[in-house]
Structure 1
Amino acid sequence: QKTAGNSLEFIDNLKIDLFPQEIFVFTPQGNIIKLPRNASVVDFAYAVHTDIGNSCVSARIDKRLVPLQTQLDNGVTVEVITASWARPNPLWLNYVITTKARTGIRSYLKHFKQQEAINLGRRLLEKELQDMNKQITDITEQMQNQLLQAVNIESMDELLEEIGLGNKMPFLIAKQLNQDDISAAIKLEENETRKETPLIIKGTEGMVVTIAKCCRPIPGDPIVGYFNPGKGIVVHHHECRNSTDERKKSTDWLDVEWSQDTTGEFPTEIRIEILNQPGTLATIASTISKMDSNIENVILSDQDERVAVDFITLTVKNRVHLANIMRQLKKLFIILKITRTRG
């Protein structure tokens, strides 16, 4: 036994001496995967197969459940857990170190963003055409060719992608399609008014529709969209100082509203004045957790011997969910004042 133990240790040490920058890990089937030292679970998943990497959600190392960012040790057995709904997260690029993993993640995200942009661009163009009493199905192949030649773009998908990314304004494209001569320059009347049919935001559009961090709107809030060239639409609260009435008049702004069946969790920030005593933050965190919410960040703004002021970023489903959380927090004797913050 002693000899066997020493032999295994000798082999393990020999591998480290011979391959100081590499580790060898096992699949559940006993196959050996060679990886650079400090490789993560995600690196391992992509080394097994790109599809495994694209759909991984967690892993078991020697039958112990671990998160994806866990670094692997030499000689461990790794079982990757996947899910059909999972997809690569841009944050993975912060801790993967292999070229295959980085290439796989970037390739998927680029294709995914491209498809999302095309879908959003189609929705935006359809909305503008409907406001002009036209349908996207009314656009003939000849009209498409004239339009593509006029805007110097090779395909409709590429044009829709440009619209979805905010590089082309859907109102102007629809206006051009509505002209007798599509190849001619767009004519805008000085007193021309637009119908304001809002774009419905579901919260699941992905990377081409983002929620502004300055005001953190949540479902139930009045909202307005801003075209950010190259990135898509940024959704602001209607009362955000970055969405003034003057700016909303420009073509960079778009009327949007939340879908009735919006899903997901949305970050928002609350400001609380609390009694400065031990255990207060733990009590607040416990109350928020019981209301099916998670705390993302806590900032201590100011405090004295009696009162502390904290800014807490938490996730909520909508305004009703946030109101219920704030109502429960107000019942705590340690809470002196609580308000929602907005940009």
Structure 2
Amino acid sequence: DVGNRCIGAKVNGKLVPLDYKLVNGDIIEIVTSKQATGPSLDWLAFVQSSKAKSKIRQWFREERRDEDLAHGRELLEKELRKQGLEVSENLKQDKLLEGAKRLGFLEAEDLVVAVGSGKVSAGMAVGRIIGDRETVQQPIGEEEKEIRQTSDGLHGIRVQGVSNLLVRLSRCCSPLPGDEIVGYVTRGRGVSIHRKDCPNLTQENPGNERYVEVEWDAVSAGSYPVDVDIEAVDRTGLLADVVNALAEIKAPLMRVNAQTGRSRLAHVSLTVEVNHIEHLNNILKRIRRVDGVLQAYRGGGG
């Protein structure tokens, strides 16, 4: 505890900076204060022993954890009220523990800390706490991101020869900037944008007049929902490690579901927000580095 309350040092009766180099025979006095708030990260630059460095890092990890725990609880309370749910009932230890285990955490507190640090959204955590294990899936091709296409292509996609047209990004293949795409005219719903290798298009006649030429605008921006499928050896903490990996590379997680078979293989299905094809490739590379992951690939036939 002396280190945590240290505010200075004296050598041979004189105040010296904490990075002062000692020589044989020096008499040392550590100056402490009950009001001290703990060690400083600056100390890592001059402390000599690995044990001391480890203790300093541990102190800051615990300090951050306490802050994340308090913030996480605030976010969960806010989300529960937003959804019109009972706060005290749904934040009981047993309910939190159920939600934590559904997301791969060992303890209820770990889930709250993950929410506070931004690794797991409050909405997702509340969904698991109240028992909503899976996000309801729309039928293939029906869930689409709607955008308004204009002649100058400012919204990311140009439809050749047409302007001011309603354009929808099909969720069956989740096209991204960088993918080769094709437009398919749907009656009363504008144009659905698919990847050219989308399985849903292979059954159509390539010469069908309902196809239109489309292209990404050179300055396409924004984020797009993309499904990712993961196959891994089942183990405790697998899902938490995947979520942490996504948080490390700042890939927003929109949905996650995990299932385990008898052969101890886990299948994880998730949806992330992606900016472009290279961004997705980086996400897949990071997930493949998680211990136990056998495969990670784009959903929707990609």
Taking structure 2 as the reference length, the TM-score comes to 0.46
Higher normalized contact order (CA 8 Å, seq sep 6+, divided by chain length)? 2
Taking structure 1 as the reference length, the TM-score comes to 0.41
